[in-house]
Structure 1
Amino acid sequence: MPFVIGRTDGSLDFDSLVAQLFCAFPESRMISDDYYRDRIEREKEIAKRLGMAEDSAPIRCTERVALEHGTQRHLAVSISQGITLDARIDRLGILAVGGDDTVVCRAAVQGLIEFLRAWNLEIETSWDDVK
């Protein structure tokens, strides 16, 4: 599965990054302005349907991770014609991934990598030759 990770020390102005990302990749769109809020809500709905408590272990785990990350934006980042990555961005950085059926060559994702480098993020990718 193709991925790009950009990490920082926890002080990223992620809303500015999102705004500039939308300028750099104008076909991108917001999926959720608060990923963990929406995820916890969905998990609680599922738990209720299954007759489970809303404070079950999986939900508590998601709530712990939400506290660690804080508010997280969920985006569909269109990096080129026909290639969109699922991305989540918060104060710790960005994770952008393609699905198992997403074929992304290094050249297609290079624009995103360069964009993230301009934010002084520590980059890791599924392409070993990108540093």
Structure 2
Amino acid sequence: MLHGVGIGRGDWRHPDADATASTSFEYYKKQAQLAEAAKFDFLFVAGTGRRRVPALAGATRLRRLRGQRVAAQGTLEVFAETVVPILQKRGIYRTGYESETFRGNLGIPVPPNRYARNTVAVAAE
């Protein structure tokens, strides 16, 4: 089902964009071809939280959901307020983290500082 542009609270369209493109099959075909040529494995299509959750939930089941970029100012706030709570209720999105660092959450140990002096060697001097 094709929907026109700007039908939801979080939707935004660049002033130079063709307003009728989103209702054209040829437009979507071209976008898919460009994404495939660029080796994109997932396209995030903007829309309201309620409409995007099923697509995001399906993407996580297929292990395709990775960090998606949010482009327009305010879009992140709308996403956090509308989509994240729904995904958390469904158990798809975390409600907390084990560590306070990105490394810790990935299970990667902190490497030794190669620029700091070796404290053992310094103590022996």
Query: TM-score, normalized by length of structure 1?
Result: 0.29
Query: TM-score, normalized by length of structure 2?
Result: 0.30
Which has more strand, going by share of residues?
Answer: 1
Larger Rg: 2
Which has more helix, going by share of residues?
Answer: 2
